[in-house]
């Protein structure tokens, strides 16, 4: 599409609101578009991509913008637009002074910038990741986080094979291919509109990052089992688990948000699953959960976390999180994991997962849990994936990184309840309301 001057002004206005960091960026952007219904689909895409480019490269752009003139937010949004639509398109709709400034910026070698500007990370995050990945690994990760994530799909094998989904996409003029790890994952070229496709409406596929799909294979639920998705959210992982169970057994989708579970219901209807039971809970200690104590074969805990593994999609999180908010999350993560573990039968399996890159939310939580729960032991994630013909070995615990695996950042650990352990005393056999 052709870029118009008024779009730059709209983007500048929206950016000022986003940079207050009082609400999630995607919510602020959605609210802005609802307030400006005359903006077309393509125009919204241009504005949103520029906003998120600024969030991804905020430190770098702020450093470069010091050399310009005019309002600071306008300089930032011009740099975002230069990355997303290109300098040639942008130059046609800015002043001569701004065009000359953008030309000068384009001549700067990014490698010449100070390291902190190239990382585009708050110091507390950068320092933690450097200790984990080393200098080179940190720079590679930071470079990957400066660009949008790809669009991944999961073929719903209750309705169609991965090859059938690929054919349907190709017939709709959408390019894509398979991914390296998850058996039913597809990765598309660009960000095509999908919701009007018959294949989508018929439940042939769901949008889901490949890394997220792998969590279902770690849990490896079997037909006829009782399984709990403890923090189900909008249900993407629940749907993946249900497909692996071939819609048999019982699959409980628990969440504290009635709104999120309400969004899940249309997805569940499209999927064709009949074994899913969404349940709103008030906390991890809800009586509805206690009634399942000692009865469950497998539990997935995709714990609330900082979300720093999703920075390609949600770059504002790195500016909205803090060491204090991380400490609060750690307390919640430990509490949820302990509550979920009480559901398992002897020999039952729990997968603790986050979309975080930080050891404090990952290895530290698992280590503390194992130290206080001698009836559990750590399973081997690589061996479980290998048994399902998934060639991915990141060690005993799953660790996915955008620059290494092309997925969102994910962590997962298998916590196996020992066969000799006694099940938690169950309350009366009634199931959750």
Measured distance CA(120)–CA(45) in Å, rounded = 23
Quick one: angle between helices 25-35 and 5-18, nearest 10?
Answer: 140
**Selection from 345, 348, 340, 264 nearest residue 304 by Cα:** 340
**Selection from 218, 132, 209 nearest residue 396 by Cα:** 218
Other CB atoms within 10 A of residue 346 CB: 13
**How many angstroms separate the Cα of 316 from the Cα of each of 77, 307, 340?**
15, 10, 30
Task: For residue 301, list its beta bridge partners.
Answer: 352
394-414: b or e for each residue (b if 16 or more CB lie within 10 Å)? beebbbbbbbebbbbbbbbbb
Q: Active site residue: 355, 365, 384, 398, which one?
A: 355
Measured distance CA(267)–CA(253) in Å, rounded = 13
DSSP state of 95: -
Per the annotation, the verdict on 305 as an active-site residue is no
Q: Which residues are annotated as a binding site?
A: 255, 282, 302
Give the distance from CA 289 to its chain's centroid: 26
Q: Which residues are annotated as a binding site for S-adenosyl-L-methionine?
A: 255, 282, 302
Give catalytic residues, as residue numbers: 355
């Amino acid at each position: 599409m052709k870029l118009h001057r008024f779009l730059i002004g709209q983007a500048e206005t929206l950016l000022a609101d986003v940079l207050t960091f009082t609400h999630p960026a995607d919510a602020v952007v959605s609210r802005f578009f609802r307030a400006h219904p005359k903006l077309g689909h393509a125009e919204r895409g241009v504005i949103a991509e520029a906003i998120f480019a600024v969030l991804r490269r905020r430190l770098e752009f702020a450093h470069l913008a010091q050399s310009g003139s005019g309002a600071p937010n306008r300089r930032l949004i011009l740099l975002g637009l230069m990355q997303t639509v290109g300098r040639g398109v942008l130059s046609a709709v800015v002043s001569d002074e701004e065009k000359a400034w953008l030309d000068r910026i384009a001549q700067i070698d990014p490698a010449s910038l100070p390291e902190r500007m190239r990382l585009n990370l708050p110091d507390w995050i950068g320092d933690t990741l450097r200790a984990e990945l080393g200098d080179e690994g940190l720079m590679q990760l930071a470079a990957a986080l400066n660009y949008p994530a790809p669009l991944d799909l999961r073929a719903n094998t209750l309705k169609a094979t991965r090859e059938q989904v690929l054919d349907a996409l190709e017939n709709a003029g959408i390019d894509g291919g398979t991914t390296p790890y998850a058996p039913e994952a597809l990765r598309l070229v660009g960000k095509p509109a999908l919701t009007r496709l018959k294949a989508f409406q018929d439940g042939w596929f769901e949008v889901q990052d490949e890394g997220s799909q792998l969590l279902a294979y770690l849990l490896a639920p079997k037909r006829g089992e009782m399984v709990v998705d403890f923090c189900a959210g909008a249900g993407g992982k629940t749907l993946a688990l249900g497909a692996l169970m071939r819609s048999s057994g019982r699959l409980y989708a628990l969440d504290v948000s009635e709104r999120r579970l309400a969004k899940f219901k249309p997805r569940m209807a499209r999927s064709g699953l009949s074994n899913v039971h969404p349940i709103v809970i008030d906390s991890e200690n809800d009586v509805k959960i206690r009634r399942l104590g000692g009865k469950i074969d497998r539990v997935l805990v995709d714990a609330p976390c900082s979300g720093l593994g999703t920075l390609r999609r949600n770059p504002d999180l790195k500016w909205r999180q803090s060491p204090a908010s991380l400490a609060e999350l750690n307390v919640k993560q430990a509490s949820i994991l302990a509550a979920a573990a009480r559901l398992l039968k002897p020999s039952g399996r729990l997968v603790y997962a986050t979309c975080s890159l930080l050891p404090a939310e990952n290895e530290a939580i698992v280590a503390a849990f194992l130290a206080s729960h001698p009836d559990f032991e750590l399973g081997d994630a690589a061996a479980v994936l290998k048994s399902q013909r998934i060639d991915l070995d990141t060690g005993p615990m799953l660790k996915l990184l955008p620059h290494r695996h092309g997925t969102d950042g994910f962590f997962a650990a298998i916590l196996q309840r020992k066969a000799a352990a006694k099940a938690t005393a169950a309350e009366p056999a009634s199931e959750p309301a």
